[in-house]
Amino acid sequence: MIVKNKVVVISGGASGLGQATARYFAEKGAKVAILDLNEDAGKATAAAIGDEGCLFCVADVTSEESVQSAIEQVLEKFGVIDININCAGIPAPCKVLDRDGNPTRLKKFSHVTSVNLIGIFNVMSKCAAVMAKNPLEKAEERGVIINVSSGAAYEGQIGQSAYAASKAGIIGINLPAARELGPLGIRVNAIAPGLFRTPMVDALGDKVIESLVDMIESPKRCGDMQEFAHCCEFIVENAYINGETIRLDAATRLRAK
């Protein structure tokens, strides 16, 4: 599927990897719909891309009603959805036990998984329902879904119990979803990024970032967000990639802490 002239729905598209991907795909000639809770950042991103080819929708990925409303806005403006890239996520730290040895409150674990895993399923399922009605392209494709996992899904660090679980769940969705939606002409893949210099990573502080960069093999640097966006384009345009998770991490393998 060629990116040019396609309609792309990006959750978490107002910042970080989602924002970089929105801008990248717009530059490639796609029409972009950004779903995000951050209204100021979302409007600013849409304005920078251009109102004709970009739509911002305030959307809470944990709410069925909110996401459905956003999907309806996308269809009203663009009439179709061809590609869905799910970048929405939160990094909240969560241990099994707190510093006093007490069980971590369940709502803390639940909040992370609700946004990072259930939220992605919420958006992808609604986009898939629209894609399934698209005409076949080259007699084989109606849509492409890309979900963002993390290297933490494989080597979660101490304090990442909720985050790692949610990101591993995204990988778990891949194959059954690809098997289910494949006959409809919809491919499902995931990217597991390593360390990219996003606002989420910046919030960790320089000391933590330095320790993480030390675990990167080569090239020994944070990833460029354009490299992530390019990987999304590659997945979209290569019709034989399906049910796969690409580790985009410069061979990084996280230590326990």
Q: How far apart are CA 92 and CA 159, in angstroms?
A: 9
Closest to 236 in 3D by CA, of 145, 170, 161: 145
Q: How far is CA 165 from CA 152, 169, 191, in A?
A: 9, 6, 16
Q: How far apart are CA 161 and CA 101, in angstroms?
A: 15
Length of the chain as a residue count: 257
Q: How far apart are CA 234 and CA 191, in angstroms?
A: 11
Supply φ then ψ for residue 79, to 5 degrees: 85, -10
Q: Is 163 a catalytic residue?
A: yes
Q: How far apart are CA 63 and CA 71, in angstroms?
A: 12
- 24, 154, 163, 240: the catalytic one is 163
Residue type, 209: I
Supply φ then ψ for residue 96, to 5 degrees: -70, -40
- Residues identified as active-site: 163
